[in-house]
Structure 1
């Protein structure tokens, strides 16, 4: 931030001045000629061009045009230059002749105004190919370790950051257009049904492209070495410095700071910052919510058409069809096709499936018995005193089961403690229970910032992330598990080291 942020922009004065129509016509003529590579214009040329628009009053003269040009020079919109050509009359000889050119500020302001005139809504688009392009370019950056011949680093950065800006701006504009008042009103009409399928398919394709590449980009940005990024940005700054800048050259330090800020903004957009969700996550959720809203409105419109229509004949035919079926499984299939899924009720508790195999169907597992209590506001009738149930046998069974589980876990811990450290890739085939313990310890370490935990048995476990994105295959008795090649270190921690803190914080300092 600089002091210029506090100063007014005098170059925009012509947009709200008293004679705004005359000034805007002159600046628009200058901008059109600037697009045609005609930079320096005489007052007579400006006057003829403005009059040709046919927008100003008929009594507009060359002298008024000259006064307007002088005012625009005072506002720093135009730059005058003395015209040393020959004079055709005495008046031209006595009067100083100038040519005028737009300043860089004026060019950008007029370009902005011309763009605003073309806006007819938010616009924008969802292009999943931009995710793929950014992913490919970042992989190339990581592969070449940030070292590029002269000229290639800047071209690669322009491609990466240009696609990133195009992706964010177009996506935000398109999502905003779907949430505008005009589109909300369209979704409530029957004409929206013609667009429902195409818009939903368009959003679904974008979601698939986002899920396929955005999280790969997040992984690359999170794991790429800082030295590689520093070398790459230095090469980009070198290429940018090689481009001649004659108006106001930027120092190498300022260029490098700007590049680092742009890189950090891209990392924050894809990977988040300080435990905050990334903008990619919000974009995905917003797109999914938009799809759900479109489908909801379409169903609501279709339901309006069905109101008042008698379905007696359809239900009678369906009832006879059910009555004619002899197999209960056929009845289940017919009900599933006709009625779909029933409304689910969620109960809190442990799902006692009896197996960790994901291929076991819910129909093959036994039921979980849960006692439900009435939620009625009516007071239940007092049925008198009741007997106290004896649960000692059930408690004893639960206690024995818990102790057996603790003994198994302790045996695994002692075996790993003897080895001091293990790497996933070096493990022999393990049992399903041992795999459960490994994943449980890894999950607890990942949830802790220090990547360390302390078990109730006084054994410290620390987790080290694999170098790069190295993965390993853990063989189990019921299948294989593909996972990162973590390194787990085990050590016995005394009571003096823990200092009574079971959460492992003191253990981290002693390590």
Structure 2
């Protein structure tokens, strides 16, 4: 949580007056010119230089140097500009006493102009989901724990800046991206058929982010809880010493204020990943928001597909299917065709004790004794005593454990295939040996993701860059798989790892997660 505001921080801000003043165009032009000159390392400017620079933009008409001087004085009174006496061009005592000034934009106004410049470029929420940021944060926190908070001052400052910058970027970009999926433009797009083009790429993008979040969140949360108060105090003290090694002309904050700021930011980091007694962690809420976005995309896709099917005539398809049934001579083949075409019909399960009064197989069901079945009330009101026997809760522990083992085995096969391809580096489809069903599905997924992207490349959740190259003469290759053969273009894949050390740490951590 941020510190409580003071009376001073809630008071009037004079530096903001020029943004909505009567002569706002003139003030904004002067401030923007001084800001641009500041970025070009030109600091102190005379009124004549400011006037000539503003007039070159052709945005002010009938503007005079005297009006410019009055506007500069007004901006000085609002604390947007500071000034000093300019006696460098004076040739006589009279010229020196005329009090010619040079003007410089203040730090507060520089931040205002930067903010206004950024607002001009804002077109939407933007944002992105970068799974690699979880790895950077996890590695930084692990390193702090392994060092027990003892660092050289410069190394501590560098480690803290890397950790907090990654945390800020993760928080801001991910929240902005999730918010962009709930805008009016996104809602309108999800109602049109053109959204089907983006459906797969957005869904896979969100799924990769959620998988990386789930795999790294426990490591980050666990190491944060292992860093005790003593380690935290030593580390933040080293960061403070590293910051104070940088020579500063202006002492903006004291050592105590800077240390309090560090402790507040460390608390924000811990609450974001671990939460507290009153609220859940922001990481958990981000995971839930990502899953809800995936569900929303799937629901929108199903609605669009159902709408398209409802307006398309299937007379030809049904006529062709009817002739197909007519040509079959074996009823068993007709049953198989019906199963493929229509699927399993809905069934009704009848339950009761089979107390038959006769062993005759030819007796009609209408002649059998009726089986009584007590039907439980569907009323939402809870029944009192004697309303019925209580039912025990079914234990699905074994079933859940079997499904979990199946999922872990599937993920291991995917990881092993990715490691094998990464070791080869350059791979053609025609060079591949017999693949398992899991590897075939993963390979086709890579092809689909590369083709749907602009540069025919993408990054996996493990940080591997996969690039697809089309065959020059569209040669075809036959891919042997355990469940059949597949004919497709002879694509070439290139697998690249930008950081070998991070890749190795990722594989070790992922292998530990899967074994756990």
TM (normalized to structure 2)?
0.63
- Contact 2:191–2:300 (Cα < 8 Å) also in 1: yes
Structure 2 partner of 1:312? 318
Structure 2 partner of 1:274? 277
Partner SS, residue 206 of structure 1: helix
Match of 2:37 among 20, 33, 36: 33
The reply to whether residue 255 of structure 1 matches residue 231 of structure 2 is no
Cα shift at 1:91 = 8.1
The reply to whether residue 242 of structure 1 matches residue 248 of structure 2 is no
Partner SS, residue 3 of structure 1: coil
Match of 2:208 among 205, 212, 215: 205
The reply to whether residue 231 of structure 1 matches residue 215 of structure 2 is no
Flag the 1:229–1:322 CA change in 2: closer, same or farther, 3 A. farther
Structure 2 partner of 1:404? none
Counterparts of 1:62-81 in structure 2 under 5 Å?
Answer: 62-81=65-84
CA–CA distance in structure 1, aligned partners of residues 348 and 248 of structure 2: 66
Cα shift at 1:95 = 2.3
Cα shift at 1:3 = 3.0
Match of 2:23 among 19, 24, 33: 19
- Contact 2:15–2:109 (Cα < 8 Å) also in 1: yes
For residues 311-360 of structure 1, give each alpha carbon's deviation from its aligned partner in whole angstroms, at most 9, with x where no partner exists.
534764797899957599x96x9958964897999xxxxxxxxxxxxxxx
Flag the 1:201–1:343 CA change in 2: closer, same or farther, 3 A. farther
CA–CA distance in structure 2, aligned partners of residues 92 and 318 of structure 1: 106
Structure 2 partner of 1:196? 199
Cα shift at 1:14 = 0.3
Structure 2 partner of 1:394? none
What is the alpha-carbon root mean square deviation over aligned residues? 3.5
CA–CA distance in structure 1, aligned partners of residues 348 and 214 of structure 2: 28
Structure 2 partner of 1:7? 11
Structure 2 partner of 1:186? 189
Q: Which has the higher contact order (CA 8 A, sep 6+)?
A: 2
Structure 1 partner of 2:462? none
Cα shift at 1:248 = 3.0
Counterparts of 1:46-61 in structure 2 under 5 Å?
Answer: 46-57=50-61, 59-61=62-64
The reply to whether residue 117 of structure 1 matches residue 123 of structure 2 is no
CA–CA distance in structure 2, aligned partners of residues 321 and 45 of structure 1: 93
CA–CA distance in structure 2, aligned partners of residues 78 and 271 of structure 1: 45
CA–CA distance in structure 2, aligned partners of residues 174 and 298 of structure 1: 20
Structure 2 partner of 1:143? 146
For residues 221-249 of structure 1, give each alpha carbon's deviation from its aligned partner in whole angstroms, at most 9, with x where no partner exists.
12222211111111111111222232234
Partner SS, residue 88 of structure 2: coil
For residues 407-440 of structure 1, give each alpha carbon's deviation from its aligned partner in whole angstroms, at most 9, with x where no partner exists.
xxxxxxxxxxxxxxxxxxxxxxxxx9xxxxxxxx
Partner SS, residue 300 of structure 1: helix
CA–CA distance in structure 2, aligned partners of residues 72 and 99 of structure 1: 13
Cα shift at 1:289 = 0.8
Flag the 1:15–1:371 CA change in 2: closer, same or farther, 3 A. farther
Q: Which runs of 4+ in 1 moved over 4 A?
A: 88-94, 314-328, 333-345, 374-377
CA–CA distance in structure 1, aligned partners of residues 348 and 327 of structure 2: 26
CA–CA distance in structure 2, aligned partners of residues 142 and 316 of structure 1: 70
CA–CA distance in structure 2, aligned partners of residues 225 and 16 of structure 1: 50
For residues 438-495 of structure 1, give each alpha carbon's deviation from its aligned partner in whole angstroms, at most 9, with x where no partner exists.
xxxxxxxxxxxxxxxxxxxxxxxxxxxxxxxxxxxxxxxxxxxx88xxxxxxxxxxxx
Counterparts of 1:281-296 in structure 2 under 5 Å?
Answer: 281-296=284-299
Cα shift at 1:182 = 1.1
Partner SS, residue 56 of structure 2: helix
- Contact 2:153–2:240 (Cα < 8 Å) also in 1: no
Partner SS, residue 305 of structure 1: helix
Structure 2 partner of 1:373? 375
Partner SS, residue 99 of structure 1: strand
Partner SS, residue 4 of structure 1: coil
CA–CA distance in structure 2, aligned partners of residues 240 and 147 of structure 1: 16
CA–CA distance in structure 1, aligned partners of residues 35 and 375 of structure 2: 77
**Where in structure 1 are there 5+ consecutive unaligned residues?**
346-369, 378-387, 392-397, 399-431, 433-481, 484-511
CA–CA distance in structure 2, aligned partners of residues 166 and 117 of structure 1: 21
Flag the 1:155–1:312 CA change in 2: closer, same or farther, 3 A. same
Flag the 1:341–1:65 CA change in 2: closer, same or farther, 3 A. farther
Match of 2:171 among 168, 182, 187: 168
Partner SS, residue 258 of structure 2: helix
CA–CA distance in structure 2, aligned partners of residues 234 and 198 of structure 1: 45
CA–CA distance in structure 2, aligned partners of residues 182 and 373 of structure 1: 50
Partner SS, residue 189 of structure 1: coil
Cα shift at 1:96 = 1.1
Cα shift at 1:219 = 1.3
Partner SS, residue 100 of structure 1: strand
Counterparts of 1:375-390 in structure 2 under 5 Å?
Answer: none
CA–CA distance in structure 1, aligned partners of residues 27 and 348 of structure 2: 67
